Chain A
Amino acid sequence: MPESNKNHYCLDKLIEFVGNDPEAIKSMVNLFLNTTPDLLQTINTSFHDGIAENLAKAAHTLKPTLDVFGVENTYDLIRIIEQKAKRSELDLALGKHINQLNTTMELVFKELKLAYPIV
């Protein structure tokens, strides 16, 4: 299957927030690229180490960011992850959800870096 050339994020909501100001958007994208990988990392290691509380916290923080960046198919996903972690259900299903999140985020990071290269 050929890779779709449609991005896995949508900045409409971000633009609604910060206005259609290229500078502002760029700085928010940079911030996104600087902060979300760490959160994702925390989610993964916490799952691996079985520390539900940290997992829940990181998911909680990541949630609004994903919403604002309109990251495809993560709206429900991140909420499920947070809820399961809160209930300490660190099971196989959660592992799959996290993997799905990882895959999407990898794509989004790549796409954003391409669209907003650091000069």
Chain B
Amino acid sequence: MDAFRIFIVEDDVFYGEMLRHHLTLNPDNEVHLFKTGEECLKNLYRSPAMISLDYSLPDMSGLDVMRQIKKEHPEIPVIIVSGQEDISTAVTLLREGAYDYFVKDDDVKDRLWNVLKKIRENIQLRSEISYLKEEIGRKYEFRNVIKGNSPSIKQIFGLIEKSIKTNISVSITGETGTGKELVAKAIHYNSKRAKKPFVAINVSAIPRDLIESEMFGHEKGAFTGAITRKIGKFEQASGGTIFLDEIAEMDLNMQAKLLRVIQERELTRVGGNELIKIDVRLIVATNRNLADEVQKGNFREDLYYRLLGLPIELPPLRYRGNDIILLAKYFVDEFCKENKMKKLSITESAQQKLMGYHFPGNVRELRAIIELAAVLTDHDQIDESHISFNSADAAGNLLMEESSLAEYTRKIIRYYLQKYNNNVLLVAKKLEIGKSTIYRMIKEKQI
């Protein structure tokens, strides 16, 4: 359990200090002492688990403070501790939503412990319920991202579902544009690691002699040009997921190093000797047949078996039947929404034209074709004359601004930070992500 944050609002320094000492006897309690109602209200964003409020404060009455608290955070239990012994005050306070009412010379200590225990139990229960809800939510979430209704894609959904529940390595294969990266992200963001980083490495995009330091980092002076220490992607992904894209392109030397790191669950930075424990989930992808590469001697067999884990083989789009139309409609709708255009339909003949095509570039290509068509049409529909396969590549370069889940996340965070005056804690709470994630993104200038 996280620290149990308690606010004590008490202008009697002595009594306040005593309560603070008392409550910090339990090391799980994080106690904040405020002398005025205003100070307490100003700090509500820290979302205390409980507030112990003195009834008579110098700046405002306990009742007013409580009303204000209840207005903003009705869920926070407020306990009134008072020197007042009159029943009518107590009744009013309880009626207005006080969790409990103590008189200072009652046995405050025991009553306080009891109330704390009850509140803790409630919180535990609540978090269990919200976890269950989250689980249910997650289960269906990736279906909103990965579109498809065909039996072959449904089978993929089943595999994704399985991979979400565990930490098993996942190897994704499929032709270009079939959605390998999309699936990798869907797995991460629906898994228990969702709040930790998803870090992708495109093996084919990194020069051979740099890949080790890219993956595992290096110490200062490890080689010419290593002027500072660098933390590698595996360390950055700590607690999260590493996505090794185009894994088949990795050279044999590097394969051996990767195997060792996976087996030992620890790495050393290039030029260093400290062993660093790592906790990452591995997802790899390739559009080659890895088994063939093993046969040809291009890929280590032992590493192959290590990485294979749960294999997910994405079917080419041409084998997904009516998904072509489903995806086409989805992309049109998205495109129109993004560009604030009115809705476009796809004529029957245009649909037939799409169904007859083999889509070597798969979903990515379909998207580019559709977006070009949406630009070309002057009416409220796309007909076959707007569907052009030849220029798809050109259109692809022009129109396809791939926005990844990570980019999307960044946009949301940026938006919220602006909205809430860069209050990181508040934004973290609103978005239910770790504040450290936001701090990290700010530090890495991703935001």
Contact = CB atoms under 8 A, between A and B. Distances in A.
Interface stretch (A1-9, A30-38, A45-53, A109-117): A30-38
B21 A35 contact: no
Given A18-B21, A18-B22, A61 B12 contact: yes
A64 B22 contact: no
Contacts of B400: none
A60 B22 CA distance: 21
Interface size class of B (residues with CB under 8 A): 10 to 19
A28 B17 contact: yes
Contacts of B25: 18-19
B221 interface: no
A67 interface: yes
A14 B83 contact: no
Is the contact region of chain B dominated by helix, strand, or loop, or is it mixed? helix
Give the contact-size bracket for chain A: 20 to 34
B105 A18 contact: no
Given A16-B109, A17-B109, A60-B83, A65 B21 contact: no
Interface string B1-42: 000000000001111011101100100000000000000000
Question: What does DSSP make chain A's interface, helix, strand, loop or mixed?
Answer: helix
Contacts of A18: 18, 21-22, 25
A38 to B, nearest CB: 10
B138 interface: no
A49 B160 CA distance: 81
Contacts of B21: 17-19, 21, 24, 27-28
A98 interface: no
Contacts of B104: 63-64, 67
Contacts of A65: 12, 14-15
A27 B109 CA distance: 19
A86 to B, nearest CB: 11
Contacts of B18: 14, 17-18, 28, 68
Given A61-B12, A67-B104, A67-B105, 6 more contacts: A17-B19, A27-B21, A31-B14, A64-B12, A64-B105, A65-B15
Interface of A: 14, 16-19, 21, 24, 27-28, 31-32, 35-36, 60-61, 63-65, 67-68
